[in-house]
A = this chain, B = another copy of it.
């Protein structure tokens, strides 16, 4: 990219000022620099991490993004803050389990889908964050919940639906064994998300995290504890690759 810009400058196609703008085009709202070129560079608009931001800050950012994109996603936002934002942006939907606030005009462009697989009912919050993320970014999702390894038949019943997904997001807390078992049964990539669900020697998700990193099954990669958003974002990138030739 630098090469190309330098060439264009030399060819007189770009002034130095224009070249500089190309490299750094974000809106400076004072407390935050919003990256509006992200959609160009990354293919998706900037996602807003709600924790630690006030409702007013979120509203400002959301309105700025809303004006320039087809979808906007806020993660880790409380009901209280969401209500304040919704007063000005009533088209945004709040998902209480996922703690997300989202608006999208993206329509899924492919029939492919991401499987969101989840071990227990306590992991729902993380699984839903993943599901909403993928949907907001314009990808179909199938939810396969409560299929932990202690009741193997529940998982085996749903294995074909998972196998037919382009990629799976696999959410599990406690001992985090589900991705290992799943990895032995299917052939597509798995993004594993450890959750902080558990107690005692779980150490806030450390147990599940280590399990997943040490998985004896191939095809499993891992994101941070409780990071449903990150897993879905990865899955969406892979999904896009899997359908890049389609129209």
Least Cβ–Cβ distance between A195 and chain B, in angstroms? 9
Q: Which residues of B contact A233 (CB under 8 A)?
A: 218-219
Q: Nearest residue in B to A11 (C-beta to C-beta)?
A: B16
Q: Which residues of B contact A154 (CB under 8 A)?
A: 24, 26, 33, 35
Q: Which residues of B contact A226 (CB under 8 A)?
A: 199-200
Q: B206 touching A156 by the CB < 8 A rule? A: no
Q: Which residues of B contact A176 (CB under 8 A)?
A: 175, 211
Q: B16 touching A175 by the CB < 8 A rule? A: no
A64 on the B face (CB < 8 A)? no
Least Cβ–Cβ distance between A72 and chain B, in angstroms? 15
Least Cβ–Cβ distance between A38 and chain B, in angstroms? 8
A120 on the B face (CB < 8 A)? yes
Size range of the interface on A? Answer: 35 or more
Q: B177 touching A241 by the CB < 8 A rule? A: no
A10 on the B face (CB < 8 A)? yes
Q: Of B177, B221, B246, which one neighbours A180 at CB under 8 angstroms?
A: B177
A78 on the B face (CB < 8 A)? no
A202 on the B face (CB < 8 A)? yes
Binds B, one of A39-47, A83-91, A100-108: A39-47
0/1 interface trace, chain A 229-247, chain B, CB 8 Å (1 if under): 0110110011001101110
A79 on the B face (CB < 8 A)? no
Q: Which residues of B contact A124 (CB under 8 A)?
A: 31
In the complex, A159 Cα to B216 Cα: how many Å?
20
Q: A16 touching B10 by the CB < 8 A rule? A: yes
- Which residues between 153 and 196 of chain A lie within 8 Å of chain B, taking CB atoms? 153-154, 156-157, 159-160, 166-167, 174-177, 180-181, 183-185, 187-189, 191, 194, 196
18 residue pairs bridging A and B, Cβ less than 8 Å apart: A1-B160, A2-B159, A9-B9, A10-B15, A33-B151, A49-B122, A52-B197, A148-B216, A199-B226, A201-B214, A206-B210, A207-B214, A208-B214, A210-B210, A220-B223, A220-B230, A220-B234, A241-B242
Q: Of B41, B157, B213, B216, which one neighbours A222 at CB under 8 angstroms?
A: B213
